[in-house]
Amino acid sequence: MQIAILLFDRLTALDVVGPYDVLSRLPDAEVVFVGERTGPVCNEVGSLHLVADATLDDAPRPDIVVVPGGPGQTAHMSDGPVHQWLRAADKTSTWTTSVCTGSLILAAAGLLAGRRATSHWLALDQLPALGATPTSERVVIDGKYVTAAGVSSGIDMALTLAGRIAGDGVAQAIQLGLEYDPQPPYDAGAPDKAPADIVSNLRAHSPFIPERPVA
Amino acid sequence: MQIAILLFDRLTALDVVGPYDVLSRLPDAEVVFVGERTGPVCNEVGSLHLVADATLDDAPRPDIVVVPGGPGQTAHMSDGPVHQWLRAADKTSTWTTSVCTGSLILAAAGLLAGRRATSHWLALDQLPALGATPTSERVVIDGKYVTAAGVSSGIDMALTLAGRIAGDGVAQAIQLGLEYDPQPPYDAGAPDKAPADIVSNLRAHSPFIPERPVA
> CA-CA distance, A87 to A16, in Å (whole number)?
20
Tell which A residues from 73 to 112 touch B, by Cβ distance under 8 Å.
100
B187-212 tens-digit pLDDT: 999 999 999 999 999 999 998 877 65
pLDDT at B49 over 50: yes
pLDDT at A84 over 70: yes
> Which listed residue (A13, A41, A100, A140) is catalytic?
A100
> CA-CA distance, A147 to A130, in Å (whole number)?
14
Q: Is A211 on the interface with B (CB under 8 A)?
A: no
**The pLDDT of residue A171:** 98
C-alpha closest to that of A74 among A24, A135, A126: A126
Burial class from Cβ neighbours inside 10 Å (0-12, 13-18, 19+) for residue B203 reads: exposed
**The pLDDT of residue A209:** 79
**The pLDDT of residue A215:** 44
3-state helix, strand, coil in chain A (%, to 5): 35, 20, 45
**The pLDDT of residue B214:** 46
**Nearest-CB residue to B24 (from A21, A47, A186):** A47
CB atoms within 10 A of CB A104: 30
**The pLDDT of residue B212:** 52
As a whole number of angstroms, the longest Cα–Cα distance in chain A is 55
Q: Identify the residue with better confidence: B75 or B213.
A: B75
Q: pLDDT class for B63, splitting at 50, 70, 90?
A: very high
- B64-85 average pLDDT score: 97
**Nearest-CB residue to A185 (from B159, B183, B189):** B159
**Residue A42 appears among annotated catalytic residues:** no
A124-157 tens-digit pLDDT: 999 999 999 999 999 999 999 999 999 999 999 9
CB atoms within 10 A of CB B50: 25
pLDDT at A213 over 60: no
Helix (H, G, I), strand (E, B) or coil at B132: coil
**Structural domains of chain B ordered from first start:** 2-204 (3.40.50.880)
| Residue A162 Cα distances to A117, A173, A183, angstroms | 19, 10, 22
**The pLDDT of residue B32:** 98
**The pLDDT of residue A210:** 73
**Nearest-CB residue to B179 (from A153, A160, A173):** A153
Torsion sign over Cα A112, A117, A122, A125: positive
| Counts of helices then strands in chain B (DSSP H, E) | 6, 11
B198 and A176 Cβ atoms separated by less than 8 Å: yes
How many residue pairs from chains A and B have C-beta atoms closer than 8 A?
225
| Residue A100 Cα distances to A112, A117, A160, B89, B125, angstroms | 14, 11, 16, 36, 38
Bridge partners of B67, per DSSP, are: B98
A162 membership: H or E segment, kind and range:
helix A153-166
Query: Chain B residues with CB inside 8 Å of A185's CB?
Result: 139, 156, 159-160, 163, 171
A155-192 tens-digit pLDDT: 999 999 999 999 999 999 999 999 999 999 999 999 99
CB atoms within 10 A of CB A193: 14
CB contact under 8 A, B48 and A20: yes
CA-nearest residue to A198 within chain B is B173
Q: pLDDT class for A119, splitting at 50, 70, 90?
A: very high
The model carries a pTM of 0.96
How does DSSP classify residue B73?
G
- A21-38 average pLDDT score: 98
pLDDT at A64 over 70: yes
Alpha-carbon distance B215 to nearest alpha carbon in chain A (angstroms):
31
**The pLDDT of residue A212:** 52
Q: Is A167 on the interface with B (CB under 8 A)?
A: no
- A61-66 average pLDDT score: 98
